[in-house]
């Protein structure tokens, strides 16, 4: 088995030649006035320039007090500005260049910074930017060159030119300032792997990563929605071991990160820590925590936090109400949702598109299409136009209720209202067909989207690939995976997770390894789902050694396995009736300080049931009751299955009875289990 090592030592890009900058310079068009820059236009004047002089991307600078064109023209043509050749001192220069330098003596530093940022925005002028820095250094025209380099790196990072940033950094000894800029550039470009590598390199060089590094990484993860709880936990452990005291900003980022990762428990923990230190997080962060609480069904706590905003003397605004509303919509509590909206009205807080969208969501989810329609009308009355987003939510509701046929009606309705479907809408539509195994509709929707000139994104490809996997069309999924890359789309973690799952289902272990290697080479970091998937696929195939090794590797890299990973392992043992091993996995989980969920215990019930140890299965039920975990339909159904396995059919009805008495609503599978027990009893009577 193969797994990704902890800190992948990705080399810095060094394969391309280091004379990258000089060569790009030759791509500059020869400047018309290069022959005598001092004569062609005066320096340091307010005179506006002719537009076609110099690179186009610095046009905004021409409105400023200083005219950099002569300098840029000079640097574009003059080979003396090569950094390699600038050993000569300014006094040895030809008088023209000296005079040019003198004319820029009074330029304030921020203007140089602005010039550099501007030059970095276009590939064709990056070389020029570097030449400017070298030239400034040569003529002692700007105070801190370290700062200039970090500005260059930062600007390159902003402009998604990470590769160039790395090349540039290779020309300098890395200082804390340039390290920070580089780490920031990596974070901004979502290259967490490189950012983390740089942090450890920084430590090796004897520099202490500071909270800004951590902040930029966490912010980048949050922003790109790529954050997950284990990675943030690991980062926090590093913060602790770096002995960095989390300040208000960093704590804010951490709370926001855990919220976005859906880990409401840890978000609350750090919120308490911040408040304990007398710090109050930004209101947007509190809203994110409310959202996370609501999303995990913890609406009571969400409401408590909402009230806390009020207690702090702040008036909750639309966003805060929306977050609370989202929780109730998520749990399908229409009454509470309606109450929140009326509270908004009462408090004079205006609903926005999001509010209406959530309300429409709530009605559509409850199957009250007419009410949803009224909300849309009301929305228009408030001068808020229904958009593609709101219709995509409606479609998602239909999808989740199994009513894929409604897709066409939704499409028609939105067109009638003058709303054009956008990419996200089509993504949901493809997913709707895909989730119901109507692959030709899914593909037709994809074609339709293309024919309307809407470009797919990674989500579109992921959706298509996954729905083919789910329908067992692994061959087509693989083709689509290749196709997306041929068309220039880079697979993301999710794509890889889908493909790993697919290969695992097919037991093509070499392919699983290949995918992991490719992830690594492309700098795509595996996340919690990747590991859960690996544990799951190995476990399901009885490769328990590999499954456990996954968890060990994970732990050795400073991550903690999530409860979900253990659930996958326990489930794998359970399905093969290996109850002893299932119990062991369960114990491992509790030893790690993880609280077993109902899901883990249900798997344990199943493990005993499949191992014909129904007494122990019922002991787990007892354990649940004693530990305040409410058994659910799955628990009782699994117990009934356990009884059937040992042919104690006559005891099944009592379990069914208890299920109903304890307030569980029997579902289709529960009823089927009872029915089959009754059938066996009848058979036994007849024989």
Where do contacts with DNA occur on this chain (CB under 7 A)? 225, 228, 326, 352-354, 357, 387-389, 391-393, 396, 422-425, 427-428, 431, 457-460, 462-463, 466, 493-494, 497-498, 501, 527-530, 532-533, 536, 563-564, 567-568, 571, 574-575, 597-599, 602-603, 606, 632-634, 637-638, 641, 667, 669-670, 673
Kindly write down the DSSP assignment for every residue of 286-337, as one continuous string. HHHHHHHHHHTT-HHHHHHHHHHHHHTTPPP-HHHHHHHHHHHHHTT-HHHH
Separation of alpha carbons 230 and 227, rounded Å: 9
CB nearer to DNA: pick between 4 and 148: 4
- Please tell me the distance from the alpha carbon of residue 433 to that of residue 478, in angstroms, as a whole number: 19
State the Cα–Cα distance between residues 145 and 622, nearest whole angstrom.
Answer: 70
> Nearer Cβ to DNA, position 156 or 227?
227
What DSSP character marks residue 58?
G
Q: How far apart are CA 338 and CA 634, in angstroms?
A: 31
Q: How far is the CB of 498 from DNA (least distance, A)?
A: 5
Neighbours of 209 (CB within 10 A): 24
Cβ closest to DNA, residue 150 vs residue 495: 495
Minimum separation from the CB atom of position 431 to DNA (A): 4
Collect all residues with Cβ–Cβ distance below 8 Å to 512 and sequence separation of at least 6. Answer: 500, 503, 504, 534, 537
Contact 193, 525 (CB under 8 A): yes
Q: Are 242 and 563 in contact (CB under 8 A)?
A: no
Closer residue to DNA in complex, CB, 126/292:
292
Rg (CA), the chain: 31
In the complex, least distance from residue 640 CB atom to DNA, rounded to whole angstroms: 8
Q: Least Å distance between CB 312 and DNA?
A: 22
Are 146 and 118 within 8 A, CB to CB?
A: no
Q: Cβ closer to DNA: 55 or 327?
A: 327
35 vs 385, which CB is nearer to DNA? 385
Quote the CA–CA distance of 108 and 509 in Å, as a whole number. 61
CB 429 within 8 A of CB 459: no
Residue number with CB closer to DNA (209 or 351): 351
Helix, strand, coil distribution of the chain in percent, nearest 5? 70, 0, 30
Nearest to DNA of 371, 424 (CB atom): 424
Least distance between DNA and beta carbon 396 (Å): 5
Minimum gap (Å) between residue 605 Cβ and DNA: 8
CB of 358 to DNA, least distance (A): 9
The minimum distance between CB 316 and DNA, in angstroms, equals: 16
Judge residue 345's burial from the number of C-beta atoms within 10 Å of its C-beta, 0-12 exposed, 13-18 middle, 19 or more buried: exposed
- Residue whose CB is less far from DNA, 152 or 634: 634
Which CB contacts under 8 angstroms, 24+ apart, belong to 670-675? 670/633, 670/636, 670/637, 670/640, 673/637, 673/640, 673/641, 673/644, 674/640
Alpha-carbon distances, residue 21 vs 27, 130, 140, 166 (angstroms): 10, 8, 22, 12
Q: Which is nearer to DNA, 159 or 527 (CB)?
A: 527
d(Cα 579, Cα 256) in Å, to the nearest integer? 40
DSSP designation for 205: T
Shortest spacing between CB 37 and DNA, in angstroms: 41
CB 575 to DNA: min, Å: 6
Minimum CB distance to DNA smaller for 156 or for 477: 477
Q: How far is the C-alpha of 392 from the C-alpha of 389, rounded, in Å?
A: 5
Interacting residues of 67 by C-beta distance below 8 A, sequence separation 6+: 41, 42, 43, 44, 45, 47, 49
Looking at the Cβ atoms of 175 and 458, the one nearer to DNA is: 458
Q: Looking at residue 86, what DSSP letter applies?
A: T
Query: Which one, 4 or 568, has the nearer CB to DNA?
Result: 568
Q: Please identify, using beta-carbon distances, which residue of 463 and 520 lies nearer to DNA.
A: 463
Least CB distance from residue 571 to DNA, whole Å?
Answer: 3
Q: CB 338 → DNA: shortest distance, Å?
A: 19
Nearer to DNA (CB atom), residue 53 or residue 632 = 632
CA–CA gap between residue 340 and residue 322 (Å, rounded)? 9
Q: How far is the CB of 241 from DNA (least distance, A)?
A: 27
Distance CA 164, CA 20 (A): 9
> Cβ 355 to DNA, closest distance in Å?
8
How near is the Cβ of 199 to DNA at its closest, in Å?
Answer: 23
Nearer to DNA among residue 357 and residue 445 (C-beta): 357
What residue has token string 């064109």? 69
Question: What is the closest distance, in whole angstroms, from the C-beta atom of residue 319 to DNA in the complex?
Answer: 7
Report the greatest alpha carbon distance in the chain. Answer: 115
Residue 125, C-beta contacts closer than 8 angstroms, at least 6 positions apart: 28, 55, 57, 58, 119
CA-nearest of 111, 76, 77, 104 to 90 is 104
Helix ranges (H only) for 121-262 are: 126-139, 145-158, 162-169, 176-188, 192-204, 211-223, 229-241, 248-260
């Amino acid at each position: 088995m193969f797994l990704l090592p902890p800190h992948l030592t990705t080399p810095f890009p060094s394969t391309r030649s280091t004379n990258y900058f000089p060569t790009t310079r030759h791509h500059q068009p020869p400047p018309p006035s290069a022959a005598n820059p001092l004569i062609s236009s005066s320096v340091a004047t307010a005179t506006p320039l002719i537009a076609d002089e110099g690179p186009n991307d610095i046009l905004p600078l021409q409105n400023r007090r200083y005219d950099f064109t002569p300098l840029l023209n000079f640097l574009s043509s003059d080979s003396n500005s090569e950094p390699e050749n600038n050993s000569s001192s300014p006094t040895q220069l030809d008088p023209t260049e000296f005079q040019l330098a003198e004319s820029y003596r009074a330029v304030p530093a921020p203007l140089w910074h602005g010039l550099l940022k501007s030059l970095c925005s276009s590939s064709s002028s990056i070389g020029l930017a570097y030449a400017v820095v070298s030239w400034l250094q040569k003529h002692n025209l700007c105070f801190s060159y370290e700062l200039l380099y970090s500005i260059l790196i930062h600007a390159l990072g902003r402009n998604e030119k990470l590769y160039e940033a790395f090349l540039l950094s290779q020309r300098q000894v890395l200082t804390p300032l340039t390290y920070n800029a580089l780490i920031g550039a990596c974070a901004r470009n979502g290259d967490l792997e490189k950012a983390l590598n740089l942090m450890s390199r920084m430590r090796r060089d004897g520099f202490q990563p500071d909270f800004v590094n951590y902040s930029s990484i966490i912010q980048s993860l949050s922003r790109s929605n790529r954050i997950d709880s284990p990675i943030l936990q690991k980062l926090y452990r590093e913060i602790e071991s770096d002995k960095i005291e989390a300040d208000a900003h960093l704590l804010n980022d951490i709370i926001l990160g855990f919220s976005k990762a859906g880990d409401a428990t840890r978000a609350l923990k750090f919120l308490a820590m911040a408040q304990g230190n007398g710090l109050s997080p930004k209101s947007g962060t509190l809203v994110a925590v409310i959202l996370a609480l609501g999303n995990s069904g913890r609406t009571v706590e969400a409401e408590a936090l909402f009230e806390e905003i009020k207690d702090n003397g702040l008036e909750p605004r639309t966003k805060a109400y929306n977050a609370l509303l989202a929780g109730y919509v998520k749990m399908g509590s229409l009454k509470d949702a309606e109450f929140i909206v009326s509270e908004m009205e009462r408090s004079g807080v205006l609903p926005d598109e999001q509010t209406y969208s959530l309300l429409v969501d709530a009605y559509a989810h409850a199957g009250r299409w007419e009410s949803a329609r009224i909300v849309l009308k009301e929305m228009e009355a408030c001068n808020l136009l229904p958009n593609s987003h709101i219709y995509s939510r409606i479609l998602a509701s239909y999808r989740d209720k199994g009513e894929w046929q409604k897709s066409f009606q939704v499409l028609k309705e939105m067109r009638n209202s003058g709303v054009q479907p956008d990419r996200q809408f089509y993504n949901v539509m493809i997913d709707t067909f895909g989730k119901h195994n109507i692959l030709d509709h899914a593909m037709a929707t994809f074609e339709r989207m293309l024919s309307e000139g809407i470009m797919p994104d990674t989500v579109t490809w992921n959706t298509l690939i996954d729905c083919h996997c789910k329908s067992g069309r692994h061959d087509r999924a693989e083709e689509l995976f290749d196709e997306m890359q041929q068309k220039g789309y880079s697979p993301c973690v999710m794509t890889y997770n889908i493909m790993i799952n697919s290969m695992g289902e097919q037991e093509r272990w070499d392919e699983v390894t290949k995918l992991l290697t490719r992830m690594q080479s492309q700098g795509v970091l595996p996340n919690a789902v990747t590991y859960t998937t690996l544990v799951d696929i190995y476990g399901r195939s009885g490769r328990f050694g590999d499954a456990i090794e996954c968890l060990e590797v994970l732990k050795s890299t400073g991550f903690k396995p999530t409860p979900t990973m253990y659930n996958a392992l326990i489930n794998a043992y359970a399905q093969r009736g290996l109850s002893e091993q299932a119990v062991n996995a369960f114990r491992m989980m509790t030893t790690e300080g993880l609280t077993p969920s109902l899901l883990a215990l249900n798997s344990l019930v199943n493990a005993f049931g499949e191992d014909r140890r129904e007494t122990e299965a019922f002991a787990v039920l007892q354990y649940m009751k004693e530990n305040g975990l409410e058994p659910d339909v799955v628990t009782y159904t699994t117990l009934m299955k356990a009884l059937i396995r040992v042919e104690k059919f006559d005891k099944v009805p009592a379990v069914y009875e208890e299920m109903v008495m304890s307030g569980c609503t029997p579902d289709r599978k529960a009823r089927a289990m009872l029915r089959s027990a009754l059938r066996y009893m009848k058979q036994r009577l007849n024989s």
